[in-house]
């Protein structure tokens, strides 16, 4: 009996040691997985006690295979994104050269002796050339913005005045599209931003409205935890807009966005986020609202 008790005791001790080692091994695996989630660490998962448990060894091998596959997908995605950015930059550059030649020959033709019909057709061609130039500029700007590290010049800016100035500069554009703009009066709101990037955001929002609005444009500014800039306009008839994709590059799902590259609002989102801001959009009762939040300046 004593021998059986001793054997049983030894077995219990070995079993306890085995369970403790197994638990420690599992904690170690969890720790390594946690480090991969919170740090740039990319090393495979390792075991402290080899051959402790065959199923645990197999699980570790499968985890490492899965992590390697995910890492390969991540690297492929990075390479694909880099290739895409280079492609956009090359396309925008390659399109600029022939477009410059086209506009040059159009100017020469304009100085020549043209009939009224020829002059009318030339004006149409020039209009489309200008539009094509703008589209190419958006391609170029987007490729530049996403491929370069932003150098921000943060300063204290009166956002209320800046929006008013940008709207005033666009009066002729609004008149050309037979649109009215209402800016809700507000007390001066000061933000800490890069002025040039903020002006580009406002200009893109104005252009988005002039291209796709079916009526009066409402602009408002308010101060909460952030400075909130809102542009609201009615959408064109039968426009189907997926607001969850509105800031995606090249989103032109609805017919009302057929005259754009789908990059204008993508640039707005990119610039806002570079200044630690955010963007959002909503569609209510046929009116599209685009909201940009920027950091307030503390008094």
Q: What averages of pLDDT result for each successive group of 10 residues across the chain (299 residues)?
A: 77 82 83 81 77 80 86 84 75 78 85 85 86 77 70 89 91 83 86 92 88 82 89 74 70 50 79 90 84 86
Beta-carbon contacts of residue 139 (< 8 Å; ≥ 6 apart)? 88, 91, 92, 95, 261, 263
Query: What is the value of pTM for the model shown?
Result: 0.59
Provide the token pair at 132: 């094509």
Q: Which residue(s) pair with 194 in the sheet?
A: 154
How many helices and strands in the chain, by DSSP H and E? 7, 7
Alpha-carbon distance of 92 to 140, in angstroms, equals: 5
Provide the token pair at 66: 């899965």
Strand 227-234 and strand 190-194: pairing?
unpaired
Alpha-carbon distance of 58 to 62, in angstroms, equals: 6
> Mapping DSSP to helix (H, G, I), strand (E, B) and coil, where does residue 263 land?
coil
Alpha-carbon distance of 183 to 181, in angstroms, equals: 7
Provide the token pair at 254: 């609805």
């Amino acid at each position: 009996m004593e021998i059986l008790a001793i054997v049983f005791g030894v077995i219990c001790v070995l079993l306890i040691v085995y369970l403790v080692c197994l638990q420690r091994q599992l904690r170690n695996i969890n720790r390594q997985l946690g480090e991969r989630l919170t740090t740039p660490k990319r090393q495979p998962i390792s075991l402290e006690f080899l051959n402790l448990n065959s199923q645990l060894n197999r699980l570790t091998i499968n985890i490492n295979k899965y992590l390697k596959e995910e890492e390969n997908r991540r690297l492929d995605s990075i390479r694909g994104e880099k290739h895409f950015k280079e492609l956009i930059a090359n396309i925008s550059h390659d399109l600029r050269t022939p477009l410059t030649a086209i506009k040059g020959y159009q100017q020469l033709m304009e100085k020549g002796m043209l009939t009224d019909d020829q002059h009318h057709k030339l004006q149409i061609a020039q209009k489309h050339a200008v539009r094509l130039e703008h589209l190419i500029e958006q391609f170029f700007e987007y490729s530049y913005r996403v491929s370069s590290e932003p150098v921000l010049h943060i300063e204290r800016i009166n956002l209320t005045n800046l929006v008013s100035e940008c709207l005033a500069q666009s009066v002729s554009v609004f008149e050309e599209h037979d649109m009215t703009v209402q800016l809700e009066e507000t007390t001066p709101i000061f933000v800490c931003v890069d002025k040039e990037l903020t002006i580009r955001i406002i200009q893109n929002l104005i252009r988005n409205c002039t291209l796709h609005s079916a009526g009066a444009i409402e602009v408002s500014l308010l101060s909460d935890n952030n400075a909130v800039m809102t542009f609201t306009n009615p959408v064109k008839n039968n426009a189907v807009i997926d607001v969850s994709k509105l800031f995606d590059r090249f989103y032109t799902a609805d017919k009302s966005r057929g005259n754009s590259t789908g990059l204008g609002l993508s640039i707005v989102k990119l610039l806002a986020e570079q200044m630690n801001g955010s963007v959002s959009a909503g569609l209510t009762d046929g009116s599209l609202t685009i909201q940009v939040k920027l950091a307030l300046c503390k008094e």
